[in-house]
Amino acid sequence: MAADTRKFADQLRDRLNARSRVVKKDADKLSEMKNRIAPVTNFLSHLEASLKEVDPTIRIRVAQPLTAMGEQKFSVRYEIDRNKMPEMRLEFLIQGSKIHIDDRVFVVEHQQNEIEEYLGTQIVNFIAA
């Protein structure tokens, strides 16, 4: 046998280890972003519960889970349904510590109240229109 088979096994091990490190790094970034927007997610969950007291058919749900869009960019999409009919879509673009909602930009850690006021107002206005 002319070729050293151990060499190929070592190459495979190195490549799989490198791929594993990349996957772990990506998973860590995704987890960090989920933690960063957790207050927004919690607010939408509480808002849904409050709005259901007025109209039990209202539902706020994740239509597209948090997805990586590049090195430091992530997106998530929510849909607001009423009577099982889509009423509104909310698309968030998260980049670093900023969250873009529509044409507004908020710093997640410092503007949680503003984010909640904006989202609450937008959702209620849209449903009531």
Which pLDDT belongs to residue 4? 80
Which pLDDT belongs to residue 46? 96
Amino acid at 121: T
Each residue's pLDDT tens digit, 4-34: 888 888 888 888 888 787 778 777 888 888 8
In angstroms, rounded to a whole number, what is the distance separating the alpha carbons of residues 12 and 82? 52
5-128 belongs to CATH 3.10.450 = yes
In angstroms, rounded to a whole number, what is the distance separating the alpha carbons of residues 45 and 22? 32
Each residue's pLDDT tens digit, 72-105: 789 999 999 998 887 789 999 999 889 999 889 9
pTM of the model: 0.78
In angstroms, rounded to a whole number, what is the distance separating the alpha carbons of residues 33 and 104? 19
The count of other CB atoms within 10 Å of the CB of residue 102 is 11
Coil, helix or strand at residue 91: strand
Which pLDDT belongs to residue 1? 58
Which pLDDT belongs to residue 2? 59
Which pLDDT belongs to residue 72? 78
Which pLDDT belongs to residue 25? 79
Residue 39 has pLDDT above 80, yes or no: yes
Confidence band of 48 (pLDDT split at 50, 70, 90): very high
Each residue's pLDDT tens digit, 101-128: 988 999 988 999 999 999 999 999 988 8
In angstroms, rounded to a whole number, what is the distance separating the alpha carbons of residues 78 and 61? 5
